[in-house]
């Protein structure tokens, strides 16, 4: 019984260390960009983007490449149709597309994706 408890304690402590080995990077200022709305009118989106980074040692590399990542996110959003911008499912698709692009770019630049998740923590559209 004592050995089982010790094994469970060791397993849970190693999981806690692994789960806490993430840091977050937020793009500052918020991303603001246009998209083409109905009848060729321009709409805009303002969003807050957070990156969940694997390992605190990778934060510096992500910060270094932040302008490249920001540009990629702006380009993806700027190409989206209004119906996708305005729908929850569309936003989730855009978020996944941005996450894949960020991971692709970081892999090209550093050899590793470095980012576990990309999250839109605030989304305002007009």
Q: In the chain, how many domains are there?
A: 1
* Residue 68 domain-assigned (yes or no): yes
Residue 116 maps to which CATH number?
Answer: 3.30.479.30
**Confidence band, pLDDT 50/70/90 cuts, at residue 117:** very high
Q: List Cβ neighbours of 13 (8 Å cut-off, separation of 6 or more).
A: none
To 10 degrees, the CA torsion angle through 55, 108, 75, 123? -10
What is the SS3 assignment for 113? Answer: coil
**Confidence band, pLDDT 50/70/90 cuts, at residue 13:** very low
* Residue 85 domain-assigned (yes or no): yes
The answer to whether the CB of 74 falls within 8 A of the CB of 49 is no
* Residue 64 domain-assigned (yes or no): yes
Poorest-confidence range of 3-17, 28-42, 105-119? 3-17
What's the angle, vertex CA 73, arms to CA 62 and CA 88, rounded to 5?
120
* Residue 5 domain-assigned (yes or no): no
**Confidence band, pLDDT 50/70/90 cuts, at residue 5:** very low
Domain coverage including residue 74: 21-125
């Amino acid at each position: 019984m004592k050995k089982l408890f010790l094994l469970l304690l060791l397993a849970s402590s190693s999981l806690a260390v692994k789960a806490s080995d993430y840091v977050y990077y937020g793009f500052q200022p918020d991303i603001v960009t246009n998209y083409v709305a109905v009848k060729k009118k321009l709409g805009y989106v303002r969003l807050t983007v957070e990156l969940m980074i694997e390992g605190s040692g990778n934060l510096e590399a992500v910060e270094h490449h932040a302008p490249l990542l920001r540009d990629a996110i702006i380009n993806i959003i700027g190409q989206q149709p209004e119906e996708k911008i305005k729908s929850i499912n569309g936003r989730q698709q855009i978020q996944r597309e941005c996450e894949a692009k960020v991971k692709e770019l970081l892999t090209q630049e550093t050899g590793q994706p470095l980012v576990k998740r990309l999250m839109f923590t605030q989304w305002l559209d007009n």
